[in-house]
C-alpha cells in the first residue's frame, strides 16, 4: 500500500490534483480539469486527468462518490499519515500544530 502512495505522489500532475483538493474538497472531474487548465503546467485531456485520478484512488488518497448525476472526488489523508508514522513515529505527528 505504501508503494502505491509513493507512486501516486511521484507525479507532479497528481500532486497538483491533490493541492486542488486541499483547497476545496469534493470536486468533479470537470472542475479538476478546469483548474488544471488555468494553472501552471501542461494542459491535460479529460481522459489523462481521469487516469491520474484512478492512480490516486488506487493509492487511497482520493475517494469518489456519486451524488445524482455527478461524481465528486474527496481527499483522504490517512495513507499519508500511515507513511509518515512509518519512519518518524506516531508521537511526532501528534505534536505537529
Q: Which CATH number fits domain 2-90: 3.30.420.10, 2.40.110.20, 1.10.10.10, 1.25.40.10?
A: 1.10.10.10
What is the domain partition of the chain in residue ranges? 2-90
Looking at the DSSP assignment, which residues form a beta bridge with residue 75?
62
pLDDT one-digit tens code per residue, 1-37: 688 999 999 999 999 999 999 999 999 999 999 999 8
pLDDT score of 84? 85
Residue 60 vs residue 43, higher pLDDT: 60
Is the pLDDT assigned to residue 54 strictly greater than 60? Answer: yes
pLDDT score of 91? 65
Whether the CB-CB separation of 2 and 80 falls below 8 Å is answered with no
Q: Who contacts 61 (Cβ-Cβ below 8 Å, separation ≥6)?
A: 5, 8, 18, 75, 76, 77, 79, 80
Percent of the chain with pLDDT over 90: 68
Amino acid at each position: 500500500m505504501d508503494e502505491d502512495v509513493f507512486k501516486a505522489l511521484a507525479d507532479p500532475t497528481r500532486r497538483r490534483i491533490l493541492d486542488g483538493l486541499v483547497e476545496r474538497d469534493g470536486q468533479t472531474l470537470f472542475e479538476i480539469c478546469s483548474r488544471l487548465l488555468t494553472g501552471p503546467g501542461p494542459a491535460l485531456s479529460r481522459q489523462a486527468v481521469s487516469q491520474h485520478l484512478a492512480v490516486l484512488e488506487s493509492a487511497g488518497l482520493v475517494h469518489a462518490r456519486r451524488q445524482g448525476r455527478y461524481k465528486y472526488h474527496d481527499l483522504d489523508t490517512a495513507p499519508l499519515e500511515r507513511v509518515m508514522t512509518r519512519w518518524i513515529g506516531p508521537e511526532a505527528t501528534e505534536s505537529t500544530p
